[in-house]
């Protein structure tokens, strides 16, 4: 029975059974969930379809979030792709747009797939779907990428809490970028070792990332971080496919990230007491947002001045 307490165990299993990471993950899921393979795959297809639906609606919407802090940037990126001064490739532009789209939909209270959390939900769909769309990858390969990314998140979650309040944004967007990088390598036919290396490279680059949401809302800086993390994951995946290896093994990267999370000051763990949340602009916004005017105050304001 597969038991992956560590990434080394996952790689050893793949080696001994001559299988891919996604195949090992499926065997693991069959053993632990009690579901058969068809049921697991049906569930994963449903998750992938929801990611597609979220991206599709998010890239066309100009609706603002309830706070007004975000909304419309995914569409801006899609529109900018056709401009002559756009110097990124369509694949990179879509990674940015899809990541923004997912977080903007989250901020509009629309349905998203937490991957591994709502705050980190943009990286995996951004990376996988942009590559699928621009490289005409078979959707079944995308599904394998999602499954491989999933087992990276599962093993990481056994070692550390995946929440900004427990370990900072490194545990949300950071881990999501590792899952996305791993998923891309699987999708492109990389070896199990390359899949894990990609995750290690991507996650170490976001180690120490603090959680500092303005007004405690999952909008600023969360939305733009998700717009960027898919591109970073793609860069890490490319490095791994080219043969670049992480000097620090993935198991130790996760241990280090967990330790950094413990060392992180509480003001930097979703309390909105540090980082961007404590900038002058953020404080002004927070004061207005948390003390909205009452209806009678608004009516009073609209009355003509008495002389
Ligand atoms: S800054 Fe905090 S709330 Fe925002 S995505 Fe990162 S962990 Fe989540």
Q: How confident is the model at residue 292 (pLDDT cuts 50, 70, 90)?
A: low
CA angle 20, 187, 156 (to 5 degrees): 65
Q: Residue of the nearest CA to atom 2 in ligand 1?
A: 211
Asked if residue 307 has pLDDT above 60, the reply is: no
Average pLDDT score over residue span 258-271? 98
Over the stretch 34-70, which tens digit does the pLDDT of each residue have?
A: 999 999 999 999 999 999 999 999 999 999 999 999 9
Q: How confident is the model at residue 299 (pLDDT cuts 50, 70, 90)?
A: confident
Distance (Å) from CA 210 to ligand 1 centroid = 8
Look over the chain and give the mean of its residue pLDDT values, rounded to a whole number.
96
Over the stretch 177-233, which tens digit does the pLDDT of each residue have?
A: 999 999 999 999 999 999 999 999 999 999 999 999 999 999 999 999 999 999 999
Q: Which atom of ligand 1 is nearest to the CA of 119?
A: 5
The pLDDT of residue 298 is 66
Distance (Å) from CA 261 to ligand 1 centroid = 13
The pLDDT of residue 129 is 98
Average pLDDT score over residue span 155-173? 98
Listed in sequence order, the DSSP H helices in 84-162 are 90-107, 123-135, 139-159
The pLDDT of residue 296 is 72
Express as a percent the part of the chain with pLDDT over 70.
Answer: 97
Rounded to whole angstroms, the Cα distance separating 202 from 235 reads 8
Q: Is 215 in the pocket of ligand 1 (CB under 6 A)?
A: no
Distance (Å) from CA 216 to ligand 1 centroid = 9
Rounded to whole angstroms, the Cα distance separating 206 from 34 reads 35
Q: Which atom of ligand 1 is nearest to the CA of 210?
A: 1
Rounded to whole angstroms, the Cα distance separating 188 from 175 reads 20
Which domains, ranges and CATH numbers included, belong to the chain?
A: 7-292 (1.10.4100)
> What three-state secondary structure class fits 269?
strand
The pLDDT of residue 1 is 74
Distance (Å) from CA 20 to ligand 1 centroid = 32
Over the stretch 266-281, which tens digit does the pLDDT of each residue have?
A: 999 999 999 999 999 9
Average pLDDT score over residue span 4-18? 97
């Amino acid at each position: 029975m597969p038991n992956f307490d560590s990434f080394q165990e996952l790689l050893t299993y793949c080696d001994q059974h001559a299988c891919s990471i996604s195949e090992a993950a499926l065997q693991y899921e069959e053993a632990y969930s009690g579901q058969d393979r068809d049921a697991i795959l049906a569930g994963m297809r449903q998750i992938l379809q929801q990611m597609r639906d979220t991206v599709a609606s998010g890239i066309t919407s100009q609706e603002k979030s309830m706070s007004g802090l975000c909304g419309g940037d995914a569409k801006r990126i899609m529109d900018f792709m056709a401009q002559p001064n756009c110097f990124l490739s369509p694949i990179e532009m879509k990674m940015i747009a899809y990541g923004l789209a997912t977080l903007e939909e989250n901020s509009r209270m629309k349905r998203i797939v937490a991957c591994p959390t709502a705050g980190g939900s943009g990286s995996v769909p951004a990376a996988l779907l942009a590559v699928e769309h621009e490289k005409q990858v078979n959707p079944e390969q995308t599904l394998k990428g999602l499954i491989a990314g999933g087992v990276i998140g599962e093993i990481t979650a056994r070692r550390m809490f995946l929440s900004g309040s427990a370990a900072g944004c490194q545990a949300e967007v950071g881990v999501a970028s590792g899952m996305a990088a791993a998923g891309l390598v699987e999708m492109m036919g990389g070896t199990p070792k390359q899949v894990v290396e990609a995750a290690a490279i991507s996650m170490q680059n976001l180690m120490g990332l603090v959680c500092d949401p303005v007004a405690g809302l999952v909008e600023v800086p969360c939305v733009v971080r998700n717009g960027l993390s898919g591109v970073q994951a793609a860069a890490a995946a490319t490095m791994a496919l080219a043969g670049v290896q992480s000097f620090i093994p993935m198991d130790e990267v996760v241990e280090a990230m967990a330790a950094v999370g413990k060392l992180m000051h509480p003001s930097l763990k979703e309390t909105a007491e540090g980082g961007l949340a404590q900038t002058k602009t953020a404080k002004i916004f927070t004061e207005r947002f948390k003390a909205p005017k009452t209806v009678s105050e608004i009516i009073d304001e609209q009355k003509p001045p008495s002389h």
